[in-house]
């Protein structure tokens, strides 16, 4: 079956409007999916979907032991919940981080403004490094987004500012208190894999085993991790932009692998 439980719109750092992402899912034949924008549920406002099941989702950016740890939440209420304040706090931290990035870039000779960054977000709810990158490209400093990250926006770069987010345990707790299912995103991107072991004992329910850039050996490894801790498995493309995500939306997986997750959220 073709599913996708990790995708983004221009409500955070994706390039598609919610309706455009829904259309991309339809064209790919994705029968069940989630929009998991960073730190915002705004993409679901007035969203209309025909012929597919949509599971409300979120991606919460957290920090722990020097790692950027992203926690996905599924089956969440779209109204007020314990999650509401957490998302507001994270979005405020994002704005402060981007302002500091702009300050550091200015000091390094890159003449962009926070207004330039906000313009690249197209009114999005949660701004991030991709918006800074686009402002740098539009300003003529770099040929593409990838080059900005390589040269100035990653760790050690002139414009890098570390994240200052809540912890993954706090994210797991607020997702559960809001009635959702917490899942660890893209474990293959962790610098310290022991985080999986720790979070599995702290209320984590699922692991994103099937991920767009996981190698077959990584997929097998995280499948074993999920089995070890009794975690449900999810699948996601992490789609942001067709220029970056050339494989597009959708993940083709065996229904038996995903069924325990679906049974929790449908």
Which pLDDT value is given to residue 122? 78
Q: How far apart are CA 260 and CA 242, in angstroms?
A: 30
Asked if residue 52 and residue 123 are part of one domain, the reply reads no
Instruction: Give the per-residue pLDDT at 53.
Output: 97
Res 98: pLDDT: 94
One domain for residues 115 and 169:
no
Longest CA–CA separation in the chain, Å: 54
Give the pLDDT confidence of 54-110 residue by residue, as tens digits: 999 999 999 898 888 999 999 999 989 999 999 998 899 889 999 999 999 999 999
Cβ pair 153, 133 in contact under 8 A: yes
Q: Is 243 helix (H, G, I), strand (E, B) or coil?
A: coil
Do residues 116 and 64 touch, judged by C-beta distance below 8 A? no
Helices and strands counted in the chain (H then E): 9, 9
* In-domain check, residue 51: yes
pLDDT of residue 23: 97
pLDDT at 251: 98
pLDDT of residue 155: 87
Task: Give the domain extent around 130.
Answer: 96-153
Is 158 inside a domain boundary? no
3-state secondary structure 35-94: CCCECCCHHHCCCCCCCCEECCEEEEEEEECCEEEEEEEECCCCCCCHHHHHHHHHHHHH
Structural domains counted in the chain: 2
Query: Is position 199 within any domain?
Result: yes
Q: Are residues 186 and 249 in the same domain?
A: yes
**Confidence (pLDDT) at 68:** 87
How many whole angstroms separate alpha carbon 112 and alpha carbon 110? Answer: 6
For residue 40, give the CATH number of its domain.
Answer: 3.20.20.140
- Inside any domain, residue 91: no
Please list the pLDDT of the chain residue by residue as tens digits (266 residues): 999 999 999 999 999 999 999 999 999 999 999 999 999 999 999 999 999 999 999 999 998 988 889 999 999 999 899 999 999 988 998 899 999 999 999 999 999 999 999 999 877 788 999 999 999 999 999 999 999 999 999 989 999 998 877 999 999 999 999 999 999 999 999 989 999 999 999 999 999 999 999 999 999 999 999 999 999 999 999 999 998 888 999 999 999 999 999 999 99
């Amino acid at each position: 079956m073709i599913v996708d439980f990790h995708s983004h719109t221009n409500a955070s750092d994706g390039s598609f409007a919610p309706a455009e992402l829904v259309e991309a899912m339809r064209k790919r034949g994705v029968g069940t999916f989630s929009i998991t924008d960073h730190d915002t549920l705004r993409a679901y406002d007035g969203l209309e979907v025909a012929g597919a099941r949509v599971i409300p989702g979120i991606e919460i950016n957290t920090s722990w032991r020097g790692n950027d740890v992203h926690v996905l939440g599924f089956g969440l209420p779209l109204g007020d919940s314990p999650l509401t304040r957490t998302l507001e706090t994270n979005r405020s931290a994002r704005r402060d981080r981007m302002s500091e990035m702009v300050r550091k870039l200015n000091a390094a000779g890159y003449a962009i403004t926070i207004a330039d960054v906000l313009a690249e977000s197209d009114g999005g709810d949660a701004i991030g490094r991709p918006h800074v990158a686009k402002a740098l490209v539009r300003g003529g400093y770099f040929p593409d987004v990838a080059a900005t990250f390589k040269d100035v926006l990653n760790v050690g770069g002139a414009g890098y500012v570390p994240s200052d987010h809540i912890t993954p345990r706090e994210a797991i707790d607020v997702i559960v208190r809001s009635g959702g299912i917490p899942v660890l995103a893209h474990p293959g991107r962790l610098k310290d894999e022991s985080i999986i072991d720790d979070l599995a004992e702290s209320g984590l329910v699922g692991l994103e085993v099937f991920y767009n850039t996981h190698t077959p050996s990584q997929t097998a490894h995280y499948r074993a991790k999920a089995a070890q801790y009794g975690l449900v498995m999810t699948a996601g493309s992490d789609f942001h932009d067709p220029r970056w995500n050339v494989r597009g939306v959708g993940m083709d997986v065996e229904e038996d692998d995903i069924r325990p997750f679906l049974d929790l959220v449908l």
